[in-house]
A = this chain, B = another copy of it.
């Protein structure tokens, strides 16, 4: 997902971000096209693009409902209110912070390939195409922030979560986003076509997954997750809601990936839709079969994770690969997510909903897969120019190298900053609720509101 970057006439390089913020506010709102009349005249085809991007953006926004349902379904009833709060508030905080600062950093005028520097508080041009870009980037940012909540579920304090959402939306996501989609250094790597990430396997999913991993490591496992060092399953309270969430996510993801052309003229969107669907299906199939072979049970929980794994993995390569490759990418993702869940648990990491394995691990696999399967029939968000081509299609290792560099970078960046952030918050005020509150469930202690007061709940809720 890249967007037509709005470069202003200015090429000045601001010494300090803070300074730049102040300076950016000095000039009056620059001449834009707030009504859209001029834009329409210059490009009579603009309406098709606008409605395409908006509708896809709506779908991406709706993914929030999917995350909320999956996460709550995979956690216990005593924390269901808490998960609703987190999934709502990351969208809320994310929207406000991204408007204030994040968007400027991600899409503002580039400084040294590192950071954008203009457009704080949407200040500057009042223009329909800028608002369009902002809307699109906003819903993506909210997605990244939302992923974290699953990994840190059932034990993180609300204030720590709100701060985490803010930092992801203000800095972690926009800066990395700038590197890949905002004209930053990763996009201009001298390998292949530079680091490529069509709709954000790395920028959105790995970022979210890595911050989540940092959070869950700093927090430590939930009470009862490991007994004498051996992992125990802590079943979620509603397979129904988890499945509903996955269906919603699959639906929204079609907008996420297809809309990332940022233009309806790219008829490649049809290929993207097919690839997205096939990879999701293949992911579910692989996860289901792996566990079936192990336990002889049809484990729908893991199949749901498999769908998401397939979706995450195809997000980077969706526009650059053929249908058969999408199936292969999905199959690998489905196996990987299972392996990753087992691996993390064997290392004592407790990720209640599998967010790290789904978004982190498979985000990386998605990035790599571009370097392997890109088939040389599509370019940089355009049919023209150079076409991405991977190892298996005779493109050599160039693209793969660019992908690996990006993959390493996102791990270092997002995990590193995430770790610092959680450690700092933990030192400052303690990010984990007390053992009593954890046992009782966060719903009552943090929110005063059990999610299901009319029902008997087997875990927690008591006094």
* Interface, chain A (partner B; CB < 8 A): 33-37, 39-40, 44-52, 54-55, 57-59, 61-62, 64-65, 68-69, 72, 76-78, 80-81, 84-85, 87-89, 91-93, 95-96, 99, 121-122, 126, 128-129, 131-132, 134-135, 138-139, 158, 235-244, 246-248, 250-251, 254-255, 258, 264-271, 273-274, 277-278, 280-282, 284-285, 288, 295, 297-301, 303-304, 307, 322-324, 327, 375, 377-379, 383-384, 443, 446-459
A20 nearest CB across to chain B (Å): 19
* Best-surrounded residue of A34, A77, A274, A298 (most CB of chain B within 10 A): A298
- Given contacts A278-B99, A453-B458, whether A54 and B240 have CB atoms under 8 Å apart is no
A36 nearest CB across to chain B (Å): 3
A108 nearest CB across to chain B (Å): 15
Residue of B nearest to A43 (CB): B267
| A284 with B92: CB separation less than 8 A | yes
- Given contacts A36-B266, A268-B35, A273-B135, whether A447 and B298 have CB atoms under 8 Å apart is yes
A223 nearest CB across to chain B (Å): 16
A48 nearest CB across to chain B (Å): 5
| B121 with A324: CB separation less than 8 A | yes
> Looking at the complex, which one of B96, B135, B457 makes contact with A282 (CB distance below 8 Å)?
B96
Residue of B nearest to A80 (CB): B240
Give chain B residues whose Cβ lies under 8 Å from the Cβ of A236: 453
| B455 with A278: CB separation less than 8 A | no
A357 nearest CB across to chain B (Å): 18
Give chain B residues whose Cβ lies under 8 Å from the Cβ of A446: 297-298
Residue of B nearest to A251 (CB): B62
| A270 with B91: CB separation less than 8 A | no
> Looking at the complex, which one of B46, B58, B299, B378 makes contact with A449 (CB distance below 8 Å)?
B299
Q: How far is the CA of A250 from the CA of B64 in the complex (A)?
A: 10
Q: How far is the CA of A187 from the CA of B304 in the complex (A)?
A: 39
> Looking at the complex, which one of B36, B51, B239, B255 makes contact with A383 (CB distance below 8 Å)?
B36
> Looking at the complex, which one of B51, B322, B451 makes contact with A240 (CB distance below 8 Å)?
B451
A452 nearest CB across to chain B (Å): 6
| A453 with B235: CB separation less than 8 A | yes
| B299 with A54: CB separation less than 8 A | no
> Looking at the complex, which one of B46, B243, B452 makes contact with A84 (CB distance below 8 Å)?
B243
15 of the cross-chain contacts (CB-CB < 8 Å) are A34-B377, A36-B270, A47-B52, A51-B52, A55-B55, A57-B273, A61-B251, A61-B277, A65-B247, A65-B251, A85-B300, A138-B274, A239-B449, A297-B446, A297-B448
- Given contacts A51-B48, A131-B274, A383-B35, whether A456 and B453 have CB atoms under 8 Å apart is no
> Looking at the complex, which one of B39, B52, B87, B447 makes contact with A297 (CB distance below 8 Å)?
B447
